[in-house]
Chain A
Amino acid sequence: MSDFEQDMINDFVEEARELLASIEDDFIILEKQKDNPDTELINKIFRAVHTIKGTSGFLGLKNIGRIGHIMETVMSKIRDREIRPESDFVDALLAGADLLKRMTANIAESNDINIEQIYDKLSSIVNIVEIESVLFDKTENDVKKSVSSSDSSTVQLNASEKNNTQQEVDDKLIAEFVLDAKKIIDTIESDFKILKTQLVNPNVTLINKIHRAVDTFKSTSELLNFYNLYKTTDQISIILLQIRNHQIIANDEHIDIIIRAIDKIHIMLDDISYSNEMDLTDFYNDFARIIQSKSALNTQVGGKKIVVSEVDTSKENDNIYENLTKSDFIPDNKEPLLIKTPEASNTVRIHINVLDKLMRLAGELVLVRNQQIINIHQSGGINRGIIQKLDKVTTELQETIIQTRLQPIASLFGKFPRVVRELNRKLNKEIVLKLNGSEVEMDKTIIELLAGPLTHLVRNAGDHGIEPTEERIRLGKPARGKIELKAYHEGSFVIIEIVDDGRGINPNLIKKSALRLGMKTEADVLKMNESEIVNMILLPGFTTALEISDISGRGVGMDVVKESIEKVNGTIEIQSQIGNGTTVYLKVPLTLAIIQCLVITSEGNYYAIPQINVEELITLYDNDIDENIESTGDQEIFMLRNTLLPIVHLNECLQHSRKFTKKDKREIIEKNSQSNRFHDLDYSSDNNQYCSIDHSSELHFAVLKYGKHKYGLVFDKIIGTEEIVVKPMHPFVKNLKIYSGSTIMGNGKVALILDVENIALHTSIDFNVNDAFASRNKVNKIEEEKESILLFKAGDKEQFALALPIVKRVDQINLSEIQKAGNEEFYIKDNIPIKIIRLNTIINVSECIESDKMYLVLPKFSAKPCGILASEMCDIKDIPVKINTSTYVAEGIMGTDIIDRKLTLFLDLYRIIELSDPSYIISEGKIKKPMFPNIEIKILLADDSSYMRQLISGYLVEAGYVVVTAEDGNVAMEKLFEQKFDLIVSDIEMPNMNGFDFITNVRKGNIQSEIPAIANSSLNSPDIINKALECGFNKYIVKIQKEKLLSTVSALIEEALNN
């Protein structure tokens, strides 16, 4: 299709849409004045339909043409008073208009749309009329007329059929004539419109012009034997001559009949071969009457007379449908039409690009102005007055340009009379619609987007809000329900209220439904106030279907409404009073071209995030950064009020131009966690290469949402919020999905607008996996991951920690009771000497502060009693522990963690005891390490406690084994599938899959089912031990007996190797 044709079609669609929108109301008005329809109104509709028909025929849009044609026929019948605009007919016409709308909206497929049903409906009206008129005529015994009338009905039908098939007329001459004739008739029509404005004193030149055109037409049609055409044009020509010669003073009736004649000509031209078969007798009679009555016109009010005579005929038609009394008819009602000047066109169609350019230039002008203002300040205020003027004019200019994009909301409100009318008919209710603030203007795109949600809300109000008439009367309310639509400005927003005076929303029902649907708990609901409860109907999936109606409950689809309102950056709120009605408030911005954005920086460049996607901003300081951001292997997460929020770094996202793979994500986390860790001990300055994110002070991230997903986006700095003008991406970079557009900031720099959804996709945030992790992790977090930690101090500097399960007890002692024996110190309790270990003698820590009250920490499982001397017991805490092993590694220290913002050293108790005196460790045959120097022995360690994992794997690694850890049986199983192991050490009590199930599964399975396994648990009851052995563990060792564990491990491995 050529550009030209496409342009033509686009113009047509635009025009058709405007025409259809403008006539929709007219149909409804028409219906109301069914007894006495306004001719001007009918003509308006007729012309609109006619224009659509004509153009669509030219563009080969057959279906639109057909519907247009049949609607035109119906309208012409109404105009000719052959039928009255009964509701049924108006229904059919509205259906036709809807169909036209649908087809014009989807012009390319309009020819494939099934139009038969509506077409039939419309043509049946035409048929009814024909048949009625036959009947009517028969009663009059006018046989000749009846015959011709039925003839014309077949012609009509044939004509409409032929409209499809008779497109190609072979006779070139006729085709040419028709083409010419159409052009001529169009000119005549438009000239006539001008003439109509100067009825009193017609312009002779114009009349001559029309007359000449009509004459040409007349003679050609005579030549081609189109008798009807000839006669019609002849009649027009006569009237024109009379007007020119001042034989008659032209009035509306003349104009009316000429317009009718022109329309008839149109119809004939559309179906030229049938034109001669059309029955135009009535029409000619009318003509004759007008022409004859010319003599009377100068003295009488001819217009009125003719009206009355017309009324007479149509009245009898009416009688066929309804037994109307004559008094129903008030001919005076229809005054001779005022001579209206055609609406002077005070609007211009402008392409949106021109407006955009104007807008852009105005924006630039603002920048220039700003620079100039700075300049003025520097130069000491010369020409200040001029600049102030420039300032004012610029601002005004910008505002005006923004206005050009705005449209009155009337175009949206205009469709609601019809919606309400349909509701009334369907629901048998009496609802009055009140519109308020139709003049309020807003962006065209927003108006278009609001149509759906608003219709839904109005339907809801009518359907569920307004009570049936009887009920209203019973309740003492006015019988007619009322729905009011109000629009007004509020700042840069427009508020639209949908108010009904119906039954309101019952919060109790909403509450019940919410509970029934499991959306809220009893406790949640108790905390909510009434308005919060009512607004719950906006939640996705909410319905009160059970309570309110069988078909649809109030609230069905309200989430969709909410969604579409939010799409245009708007908000929705509901207020309701039982018995008094409901009000829905929509708050929508004036325009979409300007959006509110959060402006941030990353690597020194500005980026904008649409405010609508931003939930909240979070800044973490110092330790919080490491404590609150965790990782799950390949996804960083932040604990946000009991939900897990995946975190991505904008810097990383921008640096990796390809979609993140799992490996990428792991590397990034590695990188970040390293820089985090260095930060712990202020090493960051030495490791600049890892410090792309400055951890030394703060970490900013925005909680972003799209759809139902949320994630955190880490960036460098917040600049603030700004209203920005969105511009699309340049075609060269349009493929970069992470940007949704670009914009110019106040400082003249270009900033990119980030696409929140595509950033999530690019960085491969897997929200599902995260959910799974969330459920698993939650259990771990609350029940298993927490460790009981004993915190104490010895010297004044360090805080130490020991896992409570390995502590036997803590004794309070008096320093004076300590007895010395050589280099060693002892404390006697119950006649048992307990060896005192001073930490500063073993590891490099500050010296123990001595006071009267000292403490002795006694470990479990030492061969001889011993205790660590402590100066202060700080706390016992149940907290999740993440021991950082690489930060501070020394003999006797497992690692560090930050507890209560203090760096805490986790002691390797047994190592310390061993260091102080090896004999204090239970040793059944010293372990020579490494046991198996030539082979790599791989051990799978399953334990839910990270502390224990750390501790035990530490022992095993120290003894020369390779250790892979798993936090529960499930994970251990996965690991077992992935790699080969030589031995399993497993805890019994674990979440998800405990040790019993784990080993049972291993033994039953076919992968490494023979692997030796050791149960290692703090549970120490014969039942448990027996059960563990029954399930398939080879050995059971009570936690924590380092030497026994190691010797068992080596024994089992040796055994396995020998086999």
Chain B
Amino acid sequence: MVTKLLLESAKDKNLTKQYVTFWLENKRFGIDILDVKEIYSDVSVTPICHSTEDVRGYINIRGEIYLVADLRMLLGLQKTFINVEEKLIIFKDHLFESFGVVIDKIADVVSIKDSEIEKFSTDATEIHEGYLWNNQFKIVEGIFKTENGLILILNGENIVQSILSKSKHNQAQ
């Protein structure tokens, strides 16, 4: 209930939302903290053969099996091989049940006013200042400028949508 209230009030432009930020290929990303259930440091997953390459595999967290996706792949970035700093962001159930993504390195939680986010709804491959990736599913929904650089704001729902549609495509094959 509290979450719902918070979500609703968050629509208010002047409200400050907190974002969990993290790094992916030297770019900083942020995702609404209300979408995040926890950050998990063990990323040793069981691969699921035949799945799309966005899917890393399964992981057991406290007796529950989570599906882990690779955020790099979802954004059309290169695959990494070994990265000890990788972390798992587990999403809350309201986004999708038992689901998380792997990111390169975790950073701070940042408070950002809604009005400070430069929104864009392009699905172009090139997003901003030479940042190149596939934004077909509008995973990146806006940009926030700080003194230290940009934070790209991600949309959790669209992350889920992108996997769902890809998995459907996989089935069609």
Contacts and interface: CB of A to CB of B under 8 A. Distances in A.
Interface of A: 360-361, 363-365, 367, 605-606, 654-655, 657-658, 727, 730-736, 738-739, 742, 744, 748-752
A751 B46 CA distance: 7
A654 B67 contact: no
Given A657-B50, A732-B163, A742 B63 contact: no
B73 to A, nearest CB: 13
Contacts of B50: 654, 657, 736, 738
B8 interface: no
Contact of B60 (A657, A735, A738, A749): A749
Nearest to A368: B62
10 closest A-B pairs (Cβ-Cβ)?
A364-B63, A654-B49, A735-B171, A750-B58, A730-B67, A750-B46, A657-B50, A360-B63, A744-B60, A736-B50
Contacts of B98: 730
B45 to A, nearest CB: 8
A246 B45 CA distance: 76
Contact of A733 (B51, B60, B173): B51
Contacts, number: 74
A512 to B, nearest CB: 51
Nearest to A365: B63
A727 B64 CA distance: 9
Chief secondary structure at chain B's binding surface: mixed
Contacts of A736: 48, 50-51
B6 interface: no
A655 B163 CA distance: 21
B132 interface: no
A274 B67 CA distance: 62
Interface string B43-72: 001111111000101111011111101000
Nearest to B53: A657
User: Chain B CB within 10 Å — which of A658, A732, A739 has the most?
Assistant: A732
Q: Is the interface of A mostly helix, strand, loop or mixed?
A: mixed
A733 B164 CA distance: 9
B167 A733 contact: yes
B46 A658 contact: no
Interface in B124-173: 163-164, 167-168, 170-171, 173
A732 B65 contact: no
Interface in B92-116: 96-99
Given A364-B63, A657-B49, A732-B99, 8 more contacts: A367-B63, A657-B50, A658-B173, A732-B67, A734-B167, A748-B60, A752-B48, A752-B58
Contacts of B59: 750
A733 B48 contact: yes
Contacts of B62: 361, 364
Interface residues of B, number: 30
B28 to A, nearest CB: 26
A735 B168 contact: yes
A749 B46 contact: yes
A613 to B, nearest CB: 19
Contact of B63 (A361, A606, A731): A361
B173 to A, nearest CB: 6
Nearest to B46: A750
Contacts of B46: 605-606, 749-752
A535 B145 CA distance: 78
B63 A730 contact: no
Given A735-B170, A749-B60, A730 B49 contact: no
A657 B171 CA distance: 10
Contacts of A364: 62-64
A797 to B, nearest CB: 46
Contacts of B47: 605
A373 B78 CA distance: 42
A607 to B, nearest CB: 10
26 contacts: A360-B64, A364-B62, A364-B64, A605-B46, A654-B49, A657-B49, A730-B58, A730-B98, A730-B99, A731-B96, A731-B97, A732-B164, A732-B167, A733-B48, A733-B51, A733-B67, A734-B167, A735-B170, A736-B48, A738-B49, A738-B50, A744-B65, A749-B46, A749-B60, A750-B45, A750-B65
A363 B173 CA distance: 37
A655 B69 CA distance: 19
Most B Cβ at <10 Å: residue of A363, A733, A738, A742: A733
